[in-house]
Chain A
Amino acid sequence: MKTGNRRVHKHPITSQKVVIFTFDGKKYSAYKGDTLASALISHNIKVVGRSFKYHRPRGLLSIGSEEPNALFRVGTGSKAEPNIPATQIEVFDGLVVESQNRWPSLKFDLGSINSFFARLIPAGFYYKTFMWPSSMWKKYEWFIRHAAGLGKAAYDHQDPDRYEHLHYHCDVLIAGGGLSGLISAYMLGLSGAKVLLADEKNELGGSLLFEDDIKIDGSKGIVWAKKIEQQLSDMNNVKVLKRSCVFGYHDHNFLTIAERCSDHLTESSKTISRHKLWKVRSKQVIIAQGMHERPLVISGNDIPGVMLSSAVRGYINKYGVIPGNSVLVCTNNDDAYRTAITLYKAGVKILGIVDSRNEQSSDILKIIKKYDFKVFLGYVVSSIYGKNNVRSVEVAPISKDAKDISALPFKISTDLVAMSGGWTPIVSLFSQSGGKLEWVEKEGFFKPANHNQSNLSIGGSNGNFDFQECIDDTIKKTNEILVRINKRKNTKFTMAASYPKFSYTPRNIWSVPNGRIVGKGGKAFIDFQNDVTVSDIHLASREGYQSVEHLKRYTTTGMATDQGKTSNINALANLANILQKPIEEVGTTTFRMPYTPTTLGNIGGRDIKNLFDPIRLTRINEWHNDNNAKFEHVGQWMRAWYYPKNNETFDETVAREVYSARNSAGILDASTLGKIDIKGVDAAKFLDLVYTNSWSNLKIGKCRYGLMLKDDGMVMDDGVTSRLGTDHFHMTTTTGGAANVLNWLEEWHQTEWPHLKVYFTSVTESWSVISVSGPKSRAILDASNCSIDLTNENFEFMSFKEGMIENIPVRVFRISFTGELSFEINTPARYGLQLWKKLIEVGKEFDLTPYGTEAMHVLRAERGFVIVGQETDGSVSPYDLGMGWIVSKKKHDFIGKRSLERESMSASNRKELVGLLTDDPKKVIPEGAHAIEKGAENLPEKNILGHVTSSYYSPNCRRSIAMALLKDGRSRKGSNVSIPLLNGELVEAKVVNPIFFDPNGVRKNGI
């Protein structure tokens, strides 16, 4: 095991517990409190990743969640998760991490051969290179998929972890627990408001954690933060979430927070849910996300050992790790001087400060007087050299217009470059909320301007750089929020910071010249994670991708896991430069959630597997289970599909069930049918409006089949409705359409005909429905002691009667979906199973066979009954189905009436429902197959007539049967069509009437 030796002498972290972690198979030590990033620095590991496209060696760039380079796969097996930035991984005993996007090893990666082909794979190369010949696409795709991408997901495992969702309501949500966020939370906490503070780090304090030169109210920044944290935890009205990133800002102040609850714990102590998704509705939101430092766009700026200046400072201050031996600082603003001071105090050799500005502010001159820094004013680092680490840099004076260097560069050898290209307020959440940004030329960033929702940005997020300005801005804005939530302003609240006074006055040179033309002499990276260089921006603009949104998609700048946190401003400023437009005119791309990546597991929460969608079971389900039923999903219902006996196949089972239902008797659990109870003095009038046929004239005790259309005249649902009383109807709908139909009735009643007195109640689950069908069905019911006289004379087809079967109350409907003599027995749901078992028992001697939905489909198809959703698809009218008989000519109006008269409805080429009989009676056409003109198989796509909607083998017809929607179908009866199949086979079939069995419909009265 290796111990890290790059620590600042006696830094507080070295008194912490030592922990051991594994990186690429080797064990390393670190201290509790280290991140993976700081631990790697302590072991002098420079190459921590390989870039996306060119597989260039990459080092740590930053210290926060913006890190684009140092991405790792954390954990093993089913717990492995890719693409986690090292800066966000807390080291614990037993942590296992693995580097990514390299083969065979991080130090030697064969993929880096891509660097030599860089000229062949510029921006947009996917679109250019792989377009021809199209037959090669499959090969290209394989290559691209293997070469590109970051880490590997644990794709062959199920996620073993648990994730929770949590709803939360508060007065104020504060996103970010840095200096501003803490002050705001404290002030709001004092007012008694209900406050939620969330910060993505494991400690509160934000940038204060990384600084040692600031005091707030007399205490060192980090100590002050701890004090405030303690005070907040004593307030009952304030909740603080750590390791919790506010990643989404949605409509109406709805925000989502991803809390990482157990990622930092050792395996044995992971007893809680892994992540929590907080869904927060907050009256007001305070955005205190702070700022990100920008890299300088210099050729070679991605070489390991080139780091953001603030990160270098932070690693030394916070973790006591030193990322280099001799350092060159290069900057365009004052802030990097603080890094120089920190390095100086840590005893690191400083080669110089290269400052592109022509003069320093008076503040700086005062502060650095006592340090003997060599400052190159008006100079830039024009090129950086090195492979697996920085070796040397070129330094040159910069011309006045910053377009070129004004003298030949000279070389400096160094192993660490600390760069600062200015600062960018984090406006992600603000922009997600719909707020508009404004460009501040002097400081070179976008900051919040017009708010769209109830929120305010404070501190760094609002473009404040100076600590005292941050504090004052925070107090002012928090007071404004206090007023908004009807609390009293806290006018006396003050807080003073003491720190070396720097001014933030950058000289923005968006692409540092190196004396060569763009694209020559090394790559200057803009987006590190996606390998986008300055020359890519030039190329995109040359090829016409000049809108910033196009630029993003063509070059992929600002995409991937870091979403361009460090690159966005550099990218669009370079585009603006090329187009010679002001930056505000170029604008930004759209900021979208998530601000930082969160797991799909967290978004899924508990809504997975059985809880993904509820399952509905009938009261008779237990029997189906016990009798070997196979089930199918129908909407949310689980319906018995078929009941195989012994070793029967699916086809054999269905054939047996279908045959029995016609030749002895079958029994079906039809409880899932939608049932709606309709009451009111205008109930009949209302039904007249929603169905195509007439209902006012239906007699009590009678049933009628009805067809429902949408107002465009297309079939929407069907079912049998019965009249229970003058003002009382019992409607049935298709199983899948029940909820839609109820909503449909409510909508038309409430919004179109509210004057009608009618009420709808779903009674689907109040009734169990058992359909007994077949020639012996009457005998079975009689033998079951049914109190109703079931003879044809006393119990007409399409009527219902109430009575008892033994001691079970029943309402029996004489309706038929099989075409056989059939009784649909409704009983209060709780009697369902008892009645079913009773009928099965009695039915034994009558060969009563339970049949499932598949047999039901075959039975109805034999008789040519349509199923809405199978024979129809929203473009089929009643006439197309050959059901003109059910469309009333007398009614003054109904939904769809006017539309049925539209010209297109009587056009000659409409698709009509017909039957198909294959020439080979054994051949069953696959459903969905297209039918074409006979003899047109050479040009099938030009001769499509329609498609097959239902197709089965019919045991009762002893042949295959099919229904199809064909152009001018009815006039084709008697002629042949061809059906080409995917396997090249051509099936010939004759067009017939879609009724295959009992054409005169006599069997419904029994045989």
Chain B
Amino acid sequence: MLNIKCPNCGYRDESEFSCGGEAHIIRPGYEVQLSDKDWAEYLFMRYNPKGNFTERWFHAHGCRKWFNIVRNTITNEIYEVYSAGSLPKSTEGRSAYKSNWRRHSQAEIKALKK
């Protein structure tokens, strides 16, 4: 059972939270012209690294706020907890963010251009 430091409530057991999977997925609005394949990249494809990973958590049975963490998927060590909408600052978090294939995905590149 992970011990997660909610940015609003402090350390709480994992059972109070629900995990929202990969963080920093930009949703391309309808105005972004995407092929079915590129849209599927946003919709279905998820990064699943063995190692450091930026992911979203929701304090469902607490403050009910979403936030992000940097977690090592092997050791479960949590390096950083940061607010939704911001980017990670720790070395581990920055490299996890950068090494995600999504940074090169058409869905994300086109969404950012708009």
Contact = CB atoms under 8 A, between A and B. Distances in A.
Interface of A: 250-254, 281, 434, 452-453, 711-712, 743, 746-747, 750-752, 754, 892-893, 897-899, 902-903
Interface of B: 1-3, 13-14, 18, 20, 27-31, 34, 36, 39-40, 43-44, 56, 58, 60, 64-66, 74-76, 84-85
Given A747-B58, A898-B39, A434 B75 contact: yes
Nearest to A754: B85
- 3 smallest A-B Cβ distances: which pairs? A893-B30, A252-B3, A254-B1
A746 B64 contact: yes
Nearest to A739: B60
Nearest to B65: A750
A897 B13 CA distance: 37
A452 B77 CA distance: 9
A100 to B, nearest CB: 35
B1 A250 contact: yes
B27 to A, nearest CB: 6
A434 B85 CA distance: 32
Nearest to B78: A252
Contacts of A750: 65-66, 84
A751 B56 contact: yes
Say what secondary structure dominates the interface of chain B.
Answer: loop
A242 to B, nearest CB: 25
Contacts of B84: 750-751, 754
A27 B59 CA distance: 58
Contacts of A746: 58, 64, 66
Contact of A252 (B1, B43, B58, B65): B1
Contact of A743 (B1, B34, B39, B60): B60
Contact of B39 (A281, A892, A899): A899
Which residue among B18, B43, B60 has the maximum number of chain A CB atoms within 10 Å of its CB? B43
B62 to A, nearest CB: 13
B58 A902 contact: no
A902 B2 contact: no
A468 B97 CA distance: 50
B32 to A, nearest CB: 9
Contacts of A453: 75
B66 A252 contact: no
Contacts of B27: 711, 752
A122 B74 CA distance: 37
B30 A251 contact: no
Contact of A902 (B1, B13, B36, B74): B36
22 contacts: A250-B1, A251-B2, A252-B1, A252-B76, A281-B3, A281-B13, A434-B74, A434-B76, A452-B75, A711-B43, A743-B58, A746-B66, A750-B65, A750-B84, A751-B85, A754-B84, A892-B31, A893-B29, A898-B34, A899-B39, A902-B39, A903-B36
Contacts of A711: 27, 43
Given A251-B1, A434-B76, A712-B43, 4 more contacts: A252-B1, A252-B2, A452-B75, A752-B27
Contacts of A250: 1
A167 to B, nearest CB: 9
Contacts of B14: 251
Which residue among B1, B3, B20, B39 has the maximum number of chain A CB atoms within 10 Å of its CB? B1
A436 to B, nearest CB: 11
A254 B3 contact: yes
Contacts of B64: 746
Contacts of A903: 36
Contact of B31 (A251, A253, A254, A893): A893
Given A251-B2, A754-B84, A897 B76 contact: no
